[in-house]
Structure 1
Amino acid sequence: MQSCFSNLQSLLVPAALWWSSTMSTKAVKILFLLLLLLPMVSQAAAVSDTVTCRKIKGECAFLLCPLFKRATGTCYNGLAKCCRPLW
C-alpha cells in the first residue's frame, strides 16, 4: 500500500512543478479555489434528493427496498433508492 502512494506522489510532484512554472500565481490560486469549491457544490446537489426523500417519510437503500416498501425516488444524487411504506 505504501508503494502505491509513493508512486502517486512521484507522478504528482513533477506535474505540480510544471503547472507552477507555466501558469501565473494568480491563475494557480484561482484553480486551487475552484478545486476546493467543487466538492461543496457536488455535495449540496447530493443532499437535495435525500432531503426530499426524508420529507416524504422515506428511507434510502443502496440495494433493494426492504420488505413492504416500494421505491418512489432516489437518494444521494441517484446512487440509492428512496423507499416508502406500501400503506
Structure 2
Amino acid sequence: MSFRTSRNNDDIVLRDAKTKFISAMEQLEPKKIIGRNPAVSILSIVFVLGLTYKISRRRVFKLLPMGAILTSLFAKQK
C-alpha cells in the first residue's frame, strides 16, 4: 500500500509542478521568449517531455518516436 501511496503522491507533485510551469510560461508570453532564445525552447521541451514520460508511465513514447518530435519542433522554428 505504501508503494501505491508513494506513486500517487509523486503524481500529485508532478501535476502541481506541471500546472505551475504552464501558468508561469503563460505569464511570460512564451512566443517572445522562445523566439529570442532557442535554449529556453529546448529546456522547456525537455521539461514537458520529462513530465509526460513520468505521468504517462512511458505509454506516450511508445507511440511517438523522439526524433519525430524534435524534428517537428525545429522545423517550426525556421
Using the size of structure 1 for normalisation, the TM-score is: 0.34
Q: Hey, which of these two has a bigger chunk of helix by percent?
A: 2
Structure with greater proportional strand content:
1
Larger radius of gyration: 1
More relative contact order, 1 or 2 (CA 8 Å, 6+ apart): 2
